[in-house]
Amino acid sequence: MLKRLFFTCLLLSVFANIFAQEVKTISGVVTDSSTGEALIGVTVVETGTPNGTVTDIDGKFTLNIKGDKITVSYVGFNAQEITVSKSTEMNVRLVANTELDEVVVVGYTSMKKREVLGAVTKVNSKELTQVPAPGVSEALQGRVAGVQVTSATGAPGAGVTVRVRGTGSINSSNDPLYIIDGIPSENGLNSIVPSDIENISVLKDASSAAIYGSRANNGVVLVTTKKGQNGKVKVAYNGQFGVQTHGSLPKMVNTNEYIDIYNVAAKNDGRTLMEGGLVKDFANINHLDEIFRTALLNVHELSVSGGKDKFDYLASFSYYNQEGIIKNSDYEKFSGRVNLNYKAANWLKLGLNVNGGKAKTHVVPSSGDGYGSNEGGSVVRYAYMRNPAIPTYDANGNYVDLPSEYFGQAEYNSFFGDGYNPVGLANMTDRVRDEDTFLGKFNVEAKLPYNIVWNTNFGIDYRKSDYNINNKTWGTNDRINNPSSLLGQNNESLGWTLNSVFNTVQTFNDVHTLNAMAGTEAIRYNGTDKNTSSSVNGDTFYSNDWAYSLLSFFGKVDYNYNYKYYLSALIRQDGSSRFTEGNRWGTFYSVSAGWDIHEEDFMKSIKAINLLKLRAGWGAVGNQNIALYAYTDKYTPYSNYPFGGNPSVGYIQSQLGNEKLKWETSNQFNLGLDMAFAKGEYGFSVDYYNKKSSDMLVRAPLPPSIGNASPYWVNAGKVLNEGVDVELFVRKQYKDMGFSASLNWGYLNNEVLELDAPIQAGRVDNGVFAKYIEKGYSIGSFYLYQMDGIFQNEEEIVKSAYQGSNVKPGDVKYKDLNNDGVIDEKDRSHVGSSIPKQTLGLNLQGNYKNWDLSIFFQGAFGHDIYNQMATETEGFFRGFSVSKDMYDNYWRGEGTSNEYPRPSWSAKSNNVIASTRFLEDASYLRLKNIQLGYTFPIKSKYISSLRAFGSATNLFTFTGYSGLDPEMTVSSNSTGEGDMANGIDWGTYPVSKSFTLGVNITF
């Protein structure tokens, strides 16, 4: 069907001239309304078509059109749509705006940009759709200063982490609040695709976000979707087809190199060498390369919109299909949306907006080693470790598992390791996640006397997720997934929101403007979580019903004097069912002020400056994102008790409660400066912020003697996030060409100010942790031994601090930080953080006649990754494969290496402890997207515009990190630790490179 539509469109474009309308020639001059000066390079286009021109050095233009409307636009001025009269000579006067009259969506309303006092960044639709992304969060990456967006893994359908101005909570959620068309949503974001979005506003400070009170501690993301517009029916189709592949792969040893280094280790440890009768015609397989494939990507989007008189509409449908670059992984998503608006009377507007989505994900293990989760070890992890001497398939096409079975001798399990076949693991994985989402809103807007507007929204947020896992038995002697099992995780939730807001704008004596707002909001969610399992050991079923609600009252007052001096204040009270009666209500507020210095008389003579505005704000926002019913004890069934010598099923206490829990509060200060020059062609914004989260919601550090129950939650500790956000832009337009550049940069300092007791986090081995969260250091702080080179001889060992009786020349040496002559736990120190100090986004765009080009870079700097995978491939462990770097540079004798130790299994206890040996700089700069497009000069009454383009995504990554991908968050076996465990690479599914061709057609 889609192919037929595409070729039909091409045929229509070829024969378009048959249907050409009558052409008329218009001409005119464009001037600045305030100075009368002619404007050079002004864009004049026939409305709704790509047919256009630009003004010459005298501000003059000439254009042939078939319709009766033109649109005149210029950087720094308000665009005008003009109806062409009988006269074909026109004089157009543009009014400068320096973007001050641009409308920005803020809490429960919208404001002109000149009136915004908080730290708010707006991202438009064009930026969001540059990269072929399945969701809103991915499209935001690199677009907003102070906002870090990272994928948990590169797997299709994987989760995305968004952090606005740092990490403020240790155990509770750090996710921002998402509002879609005025309705808060926990699930609806999955049903929205970037092409459906008109713009996104990110509220980063208390001045802008405190109107959302208890949920605004981590920032607010406001999503505004597209609406229909009055005019003829408009049909638009966007299609993309692409291929994906992996980036550069770390080099591993080949079989001959492995045998060589194995024999070196065997000599060092007195083990049997691989020689003589044991040597066979081994395979030589790059198992990392084996698990990857060239994958396809398809995106199809169709929309119909229009309007007449009092009614407008928009309906859209999208299909996104992404094969994973690792075998047997893929993601398929259908989305649909309808937006209807009706002006029932001059004083009454009605609106209906519904979004629905359906997604299916075939999941392969993507991160972690399977500890503490049902996902199992990452396919990438096993590909790293799989020995090159073991083939993937035997002569009959079956998966080879243990080498002892294939080679016929038990010794080969020691020679080549007992890791799983990674291709078999990927292809034998049968895990499917089905998700259904629905977000609906009904809106009533009434204009009342005295310039009062009453706006009421009622929204529904629904999600259903079914995750079914079939663990089929396979491998040598059925050792993998034995016994077979079926697992099911079913989650269903339904939420409703009702908010009602009164707003009025009053002007006094033409210089005093007062904008007042008051409203209330009620939110309730309820749902059911079900877990089932079935195996030869029996069936189990567990169901959990839950609910929570929020009731709020809020008000806000904005005042400005002649658009020169600004004041704003707001207050909100929230009552949450997550806390007990005495601690249920919290009060949140902010005050802010602004001064537009450019409006002062002494500045008006400086023509080069178009905007000079100071902003300052302070306020308190909250956080309630903890587990439901944290205030009470919990008990879980299906636990075994010894009773009379026999196991009996009963209940155990699974959680300790705390009735004294209350809100987590963040006090935030923001100071900003906005400037624009040369009629808005150049400009920047800079914001300094100081954000202190207090009464943090954290798990109490309790001893193991309390049993297996989860520790209770307490309010304890403070965390500081302090930094600077900078946004720069330049936009130039000439007769036949133009360009723009925008840069956003953020600096962040994250520090724990208070904490009752230090917290270990970031497991890197059983009972071994790489993180230690305590006062004076970052939430992401690594706490490790410091490697001090390699012992070169016995004398050096004797003169150094004592590390153990088995240490020999060629082993890793560690620093004795406390100078007590012994290397022990007291010599660990804070050596880095997984939280980036700096984030960067650079967007370059240019156009020449009908050609357009965009280049987008994204990066993060000043953070580290603990390469846990290297502890296996450079630690010499269980016959697993070895990195090529280790093989080329291992210690071969005195003076040969000060980086890699001697190969030895017996030395592993010393050489592979959690140290800076495995800590790497994770800074990176990524060419996120480059796109080249051409708009065809079509003149047809059927096709309004036709644009074709090609793009490449994740084309280059500049980094010193040795792993697959420096952009990662947390492994699956550490999800319960949240942000504390970020930055530990267990062998994570990397992001893909993609190359796509696409077409945009409007009828």
Statement: residue 13 has pLDDT above 50: no
Q: Looking at per-residue confidence, does 465 or 64 come out higher?
A: 465
Q: Looking at per-residue confidence, does 620 or 59 come out higher?
A: 620
Statement: residue 17 has pLDDT above 60: no
872's tokens:
């296996």
pLDDT of residue 240: 95
Query: How far is residue 752's CA from residue 761's CA, in Å, rounded to a whole number?
Result: 15
Statement: residue 540 has pLDDT above 90: no
Query: How far is residue 961's CA from residue 869's CA, in Å, rounded to a whole number?
Result: 12
Q: Looking at per-residue confidence, does 555 or 605 come out higher?
A: 555
Statement: residue 98 has pLDDT above 60: no
Section 660-685 average pLDDT: 91
Query: How far is residue 827's CA from residue 818's CA, in Å, rounded to a whole number?
Result: 6
pLDDT of residue 14: 36
| CB contact at 8 A, 943 and 937 | no
Chain-wide mean pLDDT for the chain? 89
Statement: residue 452 has pLDDT above 50: yes
545's tokens:
């019903």
504's tokens:
């009025």
pLDDT of residue 15: 37
222's tokens:
């406001």
Query: How far is residue 181's CA from residue 223's CA, in Å, rounded to a whole number?
Result: 6
Section 338-351 average pLDDT: 95
Residues 6+ apart with CB under 8 A from 657: 629, 630, 631, 632, 633, 634, 712
Lowest mean pLDDT among 15-24, 645-654, 722-731: 15-24
pLDDT of residue 1000: 93
Beta bridge partners of 64: 25
Query: How far is residue 777's CA from residue 760's CA, in Å, rounded to a whole number?
Result: 13
pLDDT of residue 542: 82
Eight-class DSSP state of 779: T
**Which range scores top for mean pLDDT: 102-111, 619-628, 989-998?**
989-998
Statement: residue 786 has pLDDT above 80: yes
Instruction: Cite the beta strand spans of 309-412 per DSSP E.
Output: 311-323, 330-345, 348-362
pLDDT of residue 699: 86
974: closest CA among 370, 150, 168, 160?
370
Statement: residue 21 has pLDDT above 60: no
pLDDT of residue 460: 95
pLDDT of residue 36: 67
Eight-class DSSP state of 884: H
At 491-532, the pLDDT tens digits run 999 999 999 999 999 988 888 999 999 999 999 999 999 999
At 552-586, the pLDDT tens digits run 999 999 999 988 999 999 999 999 999 998 899 99
At 838-858, the pLDDT tens digits run 999 999 999 998 899 999 999
302: closest CA among 319, 317, 314?
317
Statement: residue 609 has pLDDT above 50: yes
pLDDT of residue 31: 85
Instruction: Cite the beta strand spans of 185-292 per DSSP E.
Output: 197-203, 220-225, 231-245
| CB contact at 8 A, 630 and 657 | yes
529's tokens:
């979580």
**Is the bond leading into 50 cis (omega within 30 degrees of zero)?**
no
Q: Looking at per-residue confidence, does 855 or 369 come out higher?
A: 855
The CA-based diameter of the chain, rounded to the nearest angstrom, is 103
Query: How far is residue 186's CA from residue 497's CA, in Å, rounded to a whole number?
Result: 12
How many residues are recorded in the chain? 1003
Section 80-105 average pLDDT: 74
Query: How far is residue 505's CA from residue 556's CA, in Å, rounded to a whole number?
Result: 12
Residues 6+ apart with CB under 8 A from 605: none
At 408-451, the pLDDT tens digits run 888 899 999 999 999 999 999 999 999 999 999 999 999 999 89
At 686-713, the pLDDT tens digits run 999 999 999 988 888 777 767 778 888 8
Burial of 279 (0-12, 13-18, 19+ CB in 10 A): exposed
pLDDT of residue 642: 66
| CB contact at 8 A, 136 and 192 | yes
At 126-176, the pLDDT tens digits run 888 888 887 778 888 889 999 998 888 889 988 888 999 999 888 888 889
| CB contact at 8 A, 323 and 25 | no
pLDDT of residue 832: 94
816: confidence class by pLDDT, cuts 50, 70, 90: very high
Angle at 530 between CA 529 and CA 534, to 5 degrees: 160
826: confidence class by pLDDT, cuts 50, 70, 90: very high
35: confidence class by pLDDT, cuts 50, 70, 90: low
| CB contact at 8 A, 116 and 106 | yes
Statement: residue 79 has pLDDT above 90: no
Eight-class DSSP state of 628: T
19: confidence class by pLDDT, cuts 50, 70, 90: very low
**Pair type for strands 197-203 and 864-866:** unpaired
Query: How far is residue 191's CA from residue 437's CA, in Å, rounded to a whole number?
Result: 6
Instruction: Cite the beta strand spans of 95-228 per DSSP E.
Output: 103-106, 109-112, 120-124, 147-151, 160-164, 177-180, 183-184, 197-203, 220-225
Beta bridge partners of 242: 297, 996
Residues 6+ apart with CB under 8 A from 729: 682, 683, 684, 740, 741, 742, 743
Residues 6+ apart with CB under 8 A from 404: 410, 411, 412, 413, 476
Query: How far is residue 891's CA from residue 899's CA, in Å, rounded to a whole number?
Result: 8
77: confidence class by pLDDT, cuts 50, 70, 90: confident
Statement: residue 20 has pLDDT above 50: no
215: closest CA among 736, 576, 715?
576
Query: How far is residue 960's CA from residue 946's CA, in Å, rounded to a whole number?
Result: 42
Q: How many helices and strands (H and E) does the chain possess? A: 14, 50
| CB contact at 8 A, 422 and 383 | yes
pLDDT of residue 12: 39
875: confidence class by pLDDT, cuts 50, 70, 90: confident
Section 195-199 average pLDDT: 89
Statement: residue 591 has pLDDT above 80: yes
State the distance between the two ends of the chain, measured CA to CA, in whole angstroms.
17
| CB contact at 8 A, 696 and 980 | no
pLDDT of residue 896: 97
